[in-house]
């Protein structure tokens, strides 16, 4: 089956935002075994959107549109799609009720234009949006299925996963299964080189690598008559990948993130944890706290941005600061040890670095980051040199810290691999 993506929004045409929705949807569709030949971006213009949608419906079985479902004048995707598909827009009472509830909960009075979000193309499958006000929809016509999704990624992604993915799975007469081997601590090029022979020699399953910040995801996708048949094709390849990447594989579960893997490891070993952050300024704690169950092991964390705060809250020595500077192996180590001591936790991780744009020197350039991890008194410090802007360096540091925590805990318990465990 052939799918086509249409992203609607003048802000994409103006280059105000990067079209991450297209990349997300493309990856998801590829994972479902759908072929995608075209992606189009069109502005908030009815005539041009209609033209693009008609063309897409002629050449593809499924057309996924994102954006333009909101309450404003500009939002006209639903109106155009309904017209192109020959459907009237009618009030969808359950959506209207949900909208009313939404505003009541927030104690605000909806403006008149808000109600247009509850108007749905006649006969459409309405997709619930628990993360926003605009529901999605699927319009089934004789030539194509037209899927309408909201533009904000935090609404689009859950809606795709909860409603669209199960719907699309039912449409195909073969089953596509995929499994992702998630790796941390190995660079993209190295990971690619390590699996190139597999990529080149395989057609079913296919193998594709996806670079994420501080991580590489290797997706193994197979098609078969049923889930069991596809799964059977995937299994030996996943086994081979685990054998090649060993300890670097942190999960093969779709919904396990790196922070979840680390949190699980802490909870399973009954280890409490704290973070002491300088350049990351709270992002590491913030990412750990993404995991709902982390409260069992994570109680408190510190952002010690100034030297004074490092001394006062973590007991970092003035002489060490003077001798080596705040961005040094010694300070990272003292921060981690101090945090562990101060909070009486089993694991403490500390990050200190130069995120830029200023503050770099020839000796200590922007992107230099030290991360220390202390597990029950045993401290490991690693030096990193990241590239990119301030945000990118901080994001890379957080991923590296999670990766280091994981390997230090594994090492402490001398667990060989996740891979060999299951």
Near its own copies in 134-173, by CB under 8 A: 152, 154-155, 158
Is residue 14 within the footprint of its own copies (CB under 8 A)?
Answer: yes
Q: By CB under 8 A, name the one of 62, 175, 177, 283 that touches its own copies.
A: 283
Contact between 195 and 207 under an 8 Å Cβ cutoff? The reply is yes
> In the complex with its own copies, which residue's Cβ is closer, 143 or 193?
193
> In the complex with its own copies, which residue's Cβ is closer, 63 or 412?
63
Q: By CB under 8 A, name the one of 142, 197, 200, 362 that touches its own copies.
A: 200
> In the complex with its own copies, which residue's Cβ is closer, 143 or 295?
295
Is residue 243 within the footprint of its own copies (CB under 8 A)?
Answer: no
Q: By CB under 8 A, name the one of 15, 201, 270, 319 that touches its own copies.
A: 15
Is residue 37 within the footprint of its own copies (CB under 8 A)?
Answer: yes
Q: For its own copies, what does the binding mask look like between residues 303 and 342, x meaning CB under 8 A?
A: xxxx-xx--xx-----------------------------
Return the range that interacts with its own copies (CB under 8 A); candidates 140-148, 167-175, 190-198, 369-377: 190-198
> In the complex with its own copies, which residue's Cβ is closer, 143 or 387?
387
Is residue 301 within the footprint of its own copies (CB under 8 A)?
Answer: yes
SS3 213: coil
Q: By CB under 8 A, name the one of 160, 245, 250, 302 that touches its own copies.
A: 302
Is residue 270 within the footprint of its own copies (CB under 8 A)?
Answer: no
> In the complex with its own copies, which residue's Cβ is closer, 88 or 108?
108
Question: How many Å apart are CA 92 and CA 87, to the nearest integer?
Answer: 14
Closest CA to 301 of 403, 382, 405: 405
Interface with its own copies in residues 382-411 (CB under 8 A): 385, 387-392, 394-395
Is residue 230 within the footprint of its own copies (CB under 8 A)?
Answer: no
> In the complex with its own copies, which residue's Cβ is closer, 284 or 408?
284
> In the complex with its own copies, which residue's Cβ is closer, 142 or 255?
255
Question: How many Å apart are CA 406 and CA 266, to the nearest integer?
Answer: 9
Q: By CB under 8 A, name the one of 121, 136, 224, 356 that touches its own copies.
A: 356
Is residue 188 within the footprint of its own copies (CB under 8 A)?
Answer: yes
Write a three-state SS string for 344-405: CCCEEEEEEECCCCCCCCCCCCCCEEEEEEEECCEEEEEEEECCCCHHHHHHHHHHHHHHHH
Is residue 361 within the footprint of its own copies (CB under 8 A)?
Answer: no
Beta-bridge partner residues of 146: 63, 139
Helix 307-314 and helix 329-343, axial crossing angle in degrees, nearest 10: 40
> In the complex with its own copies, which residue's Cβ is closer, 193 or 204?
193
Return the range that interacts with its own copies (CB under 8 A); candidates 79-87, 280-288, 328-336, 403-411: 280-288
Min dist. Cβ of residue 163 to its own copies (A)? 14
Which tokens is 414 given? Answer: 């001398």
Question: How many Å apart are CA 325 and CA 315, to the nearest integer?
Answer: 15
Cα dihedral sign, 183-185-190-194:
negative
Q: By CB under 8 A, name the one of 8, 32, 52, 332 that touches its own copies.
A: 52
Place of tokens 């230090």: 408
Interface with its own copies in residues 63-122 (CB under 8 A): 70-74, 102, 105-108, 110-114
Is residue 192 within the footprint of its own copies (CB under 8 A)?
Answer: yes
Question: How many Å apart are CA 419 and CA 240, to the nearest integer?
Answer: 10
DSSP state of 417: -
Question: How many Å apart are CA 233 and CA 229, to the nearest integer?
Answer: 7
> In the complex with its own copies, which residue's Cβ is closer, 123 or 357?
357
Kindly list the distances between the CA atom of residue 376 and the CA atoms of 36, 247, 311, 344, in Å, as whole numbers in the listed order.
Answer: 51, 21, 22, 10
Kindly list the distances between the CA atom of residue 384 and the CA atoms of 5, 155, 366, 399, in Å, as whole numbers in the listed order.
Answer: 39, 35, 11, 12
The vertex-223 CA angle with 220 and 225, nearest 5°, equals 145
- From its phi and psi, is residue 144 left (phi > 0), alpha (psi between -120 and 50) or beta? beta
Return the range that interacts with its own copies (CB under 8 A); candidates 118-126, 188-196, 237-245, 262-270: 188-196
Q: By CB under 8 A, name the one of 8, 32, 41, 266 that touches its own copies.
A: 41
> In the complex with its own copies, which residue's Cβ is closer, 24 or 324?
24
DSSP state of 102: H
Min dist. Cβ of residue 224 to its own copies (A)? 17
Contact between 357 and 391 under an 8 Å Cβ cutoff? The reply is no
Is residue 369 within the footprint of its own copies (CB under 8 A)?
Answer: no
């Amino acid at each position: 089956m052939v799918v086509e993506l249409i992203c609607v929004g003048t802000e994409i045409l103006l280059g105000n935002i990067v079209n991450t929705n297209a990349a997300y949807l493309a990856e998801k569709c590829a994972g479902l075994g759908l072929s995608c030949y075209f992606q189009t971006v069109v502005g908030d213009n009815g005539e041009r959107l209609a033209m693009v949608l008609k063309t897409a419906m002629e050449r593809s079985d499924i057309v996924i549109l994102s954006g333009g479902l909101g309450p404003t004048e500009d939002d006209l995707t639903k109106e155009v799609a309904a017209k192109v598909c020959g459907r009237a827009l009618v009030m969808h009472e359950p959506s209207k009720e949900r909208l009313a509830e939404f505003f009541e909960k927030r104690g605000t009075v909806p403006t008149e234009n808000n109600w247009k979000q509850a108007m749905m193309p006649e006969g459409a499958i309405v997709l619930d949006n628990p993360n926003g006000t605009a529901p999605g929809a699927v319009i089934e016509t004789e030539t194509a299925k037209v899927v309408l999704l909201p533009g904000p990624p935090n609404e689009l992604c859950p809606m795709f996963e909860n409603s669209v993915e199960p719907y699309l799975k039912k449409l195909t007469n073969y089953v596509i299964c995929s499994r992702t081997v998630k790796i941390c601590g190995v660079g993209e090029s190295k990971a690619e080189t390590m699996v190139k022979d597999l990529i080149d020699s395989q057609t079913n399953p296919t193998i594709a690598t996806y670079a994420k910040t501080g991580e590489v995801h290797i997706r193994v996708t197979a098609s078969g008559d049923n889930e069991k048949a596809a799964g059977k094709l995937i299994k030996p390849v996943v086994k081979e990948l685990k054998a090649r990447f060993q300890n670097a594989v942190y999960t093969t579960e779709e919904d396990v993130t790196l922070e979840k893997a680390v949190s699980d490891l802490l909870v399973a070993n009954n280890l409490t944890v704290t973070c002491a952050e300088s350049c990351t300024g709270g992002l590491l704690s913030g990412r750990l706290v993404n995991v709902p169950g982390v409260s069992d092991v994570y109680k408190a964390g510190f952002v010690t941005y100034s030297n004074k705060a490092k001394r006062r809250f973590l007991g970092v020595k003035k002489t060490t600061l003077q001798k080596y500077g705040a961005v040094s192996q010694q300070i990272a180590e003292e921060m981690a040890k101090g945090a562990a001591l101060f909070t009486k936790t089993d694991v403490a991780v500390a990050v200190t670095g130069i995120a830029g744009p200023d503050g770099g020197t020839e000796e200590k350039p922007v992107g230099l980051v030290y991360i220390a991890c202390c597990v029950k008194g045993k401290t490991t410090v690693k030096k990193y040199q990241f590239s990119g802007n301030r945000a990118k360096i901080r994001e890379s540091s957080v991923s590296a810290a999670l990766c280091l925590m994981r390997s230090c805990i594994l090492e402490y318990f001398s667990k060989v691999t996740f891979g060999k465990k299951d």
